[in-house]
Chains A and B, each alone.
Chain A
């Protein structure tokens, strides 16, 4: 019963996200292929991973798990059901003493099982004026540990205009998700250089600002 309910809920959420955001996918640097991947994206709203997840073809959606803060999905009720069984989120503890190792262990375990991941390397929601916050090092450690996996940069656009900081009514603008070319991982690369490259790959996908 529960798996069926989870599958139905997945369809419902994807349909709802499409209706509200009219989200479209632009597979610019790669195709939606059944390869093991880490999709890393900019993060401006709680709805971000739902958008990425919605534009993936259903067969990829089933094996792609979002990495999310544990406290969002830990509950027993509907939140816990959605987090654990609908999205099968990989929970990350953001408070513990040994946060980095715990997070690495959780993500590595999911990748070892063959799952693809959706990851927001900024670590927190970006609600400021800057297009992208500095990237945290988790992405680097993951790439060094799993160099054979595709690390796909993903740019999510327009969410910050749909719901500017401090407003409570969303404006139903069209959103888009752009997938870039997977990063080539070189295990001898320094952390800072790798993160710079990842950041550049993300910003390269950002649409040009509209001019008045």
Chain B
């Protein structure tokens, strides 16, 4: 018995986190099964969706765990594929024309690999401006060279938006591993774990609080499922969750709460902005990639907004 305890105590904190998340998923799976069993006979879309979501969580946690085993390279590959999936959903919903072909090909086949290679190379000076500056200029030039002026500004703007939200912002998640924090060497994966647990925890808790107590809608035009009760309850508990995880971070408990609050707020607005875009595009979900969740962007929306700000807060306050 003591040997098991000694063994566990000697493990990387990430092992503990994954064990914890595993226990939560086991409990969630058991609850989902029990709800489905009780509802036997009368099929409920809410319970079906809940169980699909839980099943997808198992896959997502497994994918993140697998990528963690390979360190920076693994996380970069995972997010490069996430960027690819997200960009594909985004571009599918935008009205591209033949004249966009070069611009499109360069975002997919140059934008994604070059940006993630720069993160791999830890070249902060270039990866922090490569897409917003050079990508921005190049896309407009590639589109102009083809000579099609119909809706030119809108078409280029669509692509520039896609490039920023599908590639640039998500690439800040693996970039967290490249930050040099004194006394925190070799623990960068835990910064990612903190971000992912707080952001996704906030999404799940907002969903739970919304389902239980939700009455007053925050933005009825954008998202019928977001309520003040869900927002306040979810963000407050996720902030506490973040504070409780201070021991895996370089932050003090109070700073961890502050970081978690910032992450939750940006995550909430990420979901809101993506909902506005979906409304504008006339769709309910971005795609079908993840059963029960919709598309890649549906799952990633809060991370997209939270990641760059979290990155820069840490870079400003905690690195040399």
Contacts and interface: CB of A to CB of B under 8 A. Distances in A.
Given A169-B105, A212-B151, A174 B95 contact: no
Contact of A171 (B104, B281, B289): B104
A209 interface: yes
A167 B92 CA distance: 18
Given A164-B98, A164-B101, A169-B109, A174 B92 contact: yes
Interface residues of B, number: 24
B163 to A, nearest CB: 14
Interface in A180-212: 208-212
A82 B108 CA distance: 30
Contacts of A171: 91, 96, 101, 104-105, 108
Contacts of B91: 171, 173
Chain B residues touching A, majority SS: helix
Interface in A27-61: none
B105 A209 contact: no
Interface residues of A, number: 17
A126 interface: no
Chain A residues touching B, majority SS: loop
Nearest to A175: B92
Contact of A173 (B92, B98, B151, B281): B92
A22 interface: yes
A22 B92 CA distance: 11
Given A167-B101, A172-B108, A22 B95 contact: no
B320 to A, nearest CB: 41
Contacts of B155: 212
A210 B88 contact: no
Nearest to A212: B151
Interface string A151-165: 000000010010011
B84 to A, nearest CB: 8
Nearest to A21: B88
Given A24-B288, A167-B101, A174-B287, A209 B95 contact: yes
Contacts of B92: 158, 173-174
30 contacts: A22-B88, A22-B287, A22-B289, A24-B287, A24-B288, A158-B92, A164-B98, A164-B101, A165-B98, A169-B101, A169-B105, A171-B91, A171-B104, A171-B108, A172-B84, A172-B88, A173-B88, A173-B91, A174-B89, A174-B92, A174-B287, A209-B95, A210-B93, A210-B95, A210-B281, A211-B95, A212-B95, A212-B151, A212-B154, A212-B155
Interface of B: 84-85, 88-89, 91-96, 98, 101, 104-105, 108-109, 151, 154-155, 281-282, 287-289
In the A-B complex, the 5 residue pairs with the closest CB atoms: A210-B95, A212-B151, A174-B92, A164-B98, A212-B154
